[in-house]
Structure 1
Amino acid sequence: MSKDEVIFRRFAPADTDNVWHLHTTASQDVGVCSPEGTWGDDLRNIGEVYIKSGGDFMVAHIGSDFAAMGGLKPLDNDVVELKRMRVHPSFQRRGLGRRILRELESRAVALEFKQIVLDTTTIPGRGSKTL
């Protein structure tokens, strides 16, 4: 494995601290500071919330650095929600967001979901986009 090779894989419990760090770093970089409390509970319990519920959670790393992540959280038997997509600021503008999205789309197909939905937060003062 080269130091620049991107590895995509399923979340493992040992990744919990790295996932939390990536989440907070990427969120702060765009000016979003999550409130304390239950808002981040899903990231502290990825195995139950995403994987055991029938969805998935993927991480990407370059060498030992966590570069990107994202989850699939089932809403019902046919619909899965795309959640917690993040790319570390140091690795942005390299196509990692697109690549982690493709990995998650492939997982959704393999898990036999028929639809992927996305809900996103609007940052005050930055406007919003319709996808």
Structure 2
Amino acid sequence: MVLRLKPVLISTAFLFLAWAAAILFGFSVAEDAGGLCTIYGSFLFALYGLTVSVWQPGVKRALMFASLTAVLPVCAGIAVSLVTYNAWYDTVDYYPGFTEQIYMVFASLLDISVVSAVLLLKGLLWIWRKLDFQ
């Protein structure tokens, strides 16, 4: 039981590190930090997906899960960054107190939500297959 739980704990720890790194990276970069932050966060989540996929049984299945988990979050991150970056200029016109730092946090959290939903769906599908209701 402990051996099976260890990969999950390592992957979950990596998830929280990725979350923190994405937000901190957003604070440390200048003008387009929001877009860079979301894309950077997506790559970190792709790495998180790779760490989970390594423990899947079978090399072919692991490579399939790894490639899907790497591609989907990056696509989601790029899409979210484009939407949030374009919305940034409209928001500043209406809310002058809405600073770049607040925007970066929102962009990061939005990206994290999208990517987390993708990973959660992947995890639920994997559990559903493991239960084998046939």
TM-score (normalised: structure 2) = 0.33
Which structure's CA Rg is the greater one? 2
- Name the structure where strand makes up a greater proportion of residues: 1
Greater share of helix residues, 1 or 2? Answer: 2
- TM-score, with length taken from structure 1: 0.33
